[in-house]
Amino acid sequence: MNETRHVLVADDEPHIGRIIKMKLEQGPFRVTLAYDGREALDVLERHDDVALAILDVMMPRLSGLDVLAEIRAAARWHDLPCIILTAAGQDQQHQRALELRVDEFLTKPFSPKKLYARVAELAGVGEEPEPRPV
């Protein structure tokens, strides 16, 4: 049995966070949701086992890019794999994310299956599990 990997999902749209949480928790992931950038940094401060962060660009208080900049500037999180989610057409954000060494940049709407595959790859776990029979 694989050990569980802790994933931070920061998105100010609760339904998006829930979709990602449900998808990831089908595999060896435990998800903590945050609804703005400040809360995302608080989660990182409180939990030293976060293995990956998924950050929405447009959030209140601090954007996903602000959070990514903080992560890259802090020694303890410097190498934390990060995925940025953004609405279509935000090319400047894409450029900034690349400058901040983002690991993946996904445009909404995104495929939960594709997101899962990328999270699994970045977190060093296997492929998507078969759906459990109900």
Is the pTM of the predicted complex or chain greater than 0.85? Answer: yes
Q: What is the pLDDT of residues 39-93, one digit of tens each?
A: 999 999 999 999 999 999 999 999 999 999 999 999 999 999 999 998 866 778 8
Residue 1 pLDDT > 50 = no
**83-89 long-range contacts, CB within 8 A, separation 24+:** 83/52, 83/53, 83/54, 83/55, 83/115, 83/118, 83/119, 83/122, 84/55, 84/56, 84/57, 85/11, 85/16, 85/54, 85/55, 85/56, 85/57, 85/110, 86/56, 86/57, 86/58, 87/57, 87/58
What does the mean pLDDT of the chain come to? 91
Residue 127 pLDDT > 90 = no
Radius of gyration of the chain (CA): 14
**In the chain, % of residues over pLDDT 90:** 81
Longest dimension (CA), the chain: 45
